[in-house]
Amino acid sequence: MLLDIIDTAAESAAEGYSRIALGVEYKGARYRGWQRQASGVPSVQQALEQALSKVANEPISVICAGRTDAGVHGCGQVVHFDTRAVRDERAWTMGTNFNLPHDISVVWSRPMPADFHARFKACARRYRYVIYNDPIRPAHLAEEVTWNHRPLDVERMAEAAQYLLGTHDFSAFRASQCQAKSPIKHIYHLRVTRHGQMIVLDVRATAFLHHMVRNIAGVLMTIGAGERPVAWAREVLEGRNRREGGVTAHPYGLYLVQVEYPEEYALPRRYIGPHFLTGYEALAD
């Protein structure tokens, strides 16, 4: 089935169409999520397609690397679309931005071969979850970080994170409405670091289940607050029961920061976001 979808997409791109890939960043706070909503509720996909359609002077439909939930941000999202319109890279980037709302930006564009697929050709995805750890709620970045007023022990959180590395059944970290066929995923790295009042969870995996990163963040914050022992992360994982996995963390601190593809596609490389973390050398790669 997967190969059939890819083959069909490649055929359509070959029949008089060009395939274009875009890098997209957005603040998700005022959107219902990435995916276009039948009810007309604001979504990132809808806003992007409307802007692209004006540049192309024809209807454009995009496919993304990973759909993000309501309130979740993107600074490394990748999409592709097929079009008969002939435009240069600057037109797809700057022209689309001219027609986008202020909280969505196209950061690069690139013509791609017909076999490129933003979702199915991705070989790894990376998220960052940003926690503002202070007794007083933040007046700035209030919709771009998750506030936790309890003192969090980063060393305990980092130690607990090690139980989740590798290939596991992540059913305990999976939302009940998740549509993924398998709960088996591989986490390459899960780093927990403190930068002043900010704590950053940086996780890279083959793919993610619905709410997986937010559920991991919820478990690690509970351990960091001293409410559960470090080994509780392993107990939750091995129990494979979402009800035992604690509270799902808020969406505001979550960012899709990078999607990786085979080198043959030579997609542009940017810094790993979000923007306000780029001054920390420890987070440079």
Catalytic machinery residues: 69
Measuring CA to CA, how many Å separate 169 from each of 166, 185, 189, 223, 242?
10, 7, 16, 21, 12
Measured over all CA atoms, what is the biggest interatomic distance in the chain, rounded to whole angstroms? 60
178: exposed, middle or buried (C-beta count within 10 Å: 0-12, 13-18, 19+)?
middle
SS3 assignment, position 110: strand
Q: Which structure tokens are listed for 36?
A: 């276009």
DSSP symbol at 41: -
Is 26 annotated to bind ligand?
Answer: no
- Of 78, 80, 37, 111, nearest to 47 by C-alpha is 37
Q: Which residues are annotated as a binding site for substrate?
A: 127
Q: Which residues are annotated as a binding site?
A: 127
